[in-house]
Amino acid sequence: MNISTIGYGRGSTHADDFESSGFREYVYMEAKLEPWENPEESLSLLRQVVCPKVGIRENVEELEDRRQFLSAELAHILGRIEEAQQKWNKIESFMEKLGANVEFDPIPF
């Protein structure tokens, strides 16, 4: 399949409620590709032209990098939570062996 034309469009409103807003701005652009042009790169360039015209900052690569970073951070935090839970379980079992009341706090402040 040879892609010869690409297009990209976005819409925006300048109000909080899209349905009741009377002012909407739409931008759609098409580009004819030369045989040597990469469609993915060209679409990325087209996004960079269209999005600022409707006031949207969209950088797909930046968003994908951010998603990967947040996924890694979430995995790390979930691992830390699991470690803390295991340590807490060890402390509870130790306190039970001592016969101490885990719910009782001898220091009232």
pLDDT at 68: 94
Question: Structural domain of residue 41, as residue ranges?
Answer: 5-58
Q: Which of the four pLDDT bands, split at 50, 70 and 90, describes residue 2?
A: low
- Who contacts 6 (Cβ-Cβ below 8 Å, separation ≥6)? 30, 31, 33, 39, 42, 43, 46
The mean pLDDT value for 18-36 works out to 71
Same domain, 42 and 67: no
Share of the chain above pLDDT 90, in %: 20
pLDDT surpassing 80 at residue 83: yes
Q: Are residues 83 and 51 part of one domain?
A: no
Q: Both 66 and 108 in a single domain? A: yes
Number of domains composing the chain = 2
Last residue of a domain, one of 58, 74, 99: 58
44 and 66, same domain (yes or no): no
Give the Cα separation of 41 and 61 in Å (integer): 11
Per-residue model confidence (pLDDT) at position 36: 84
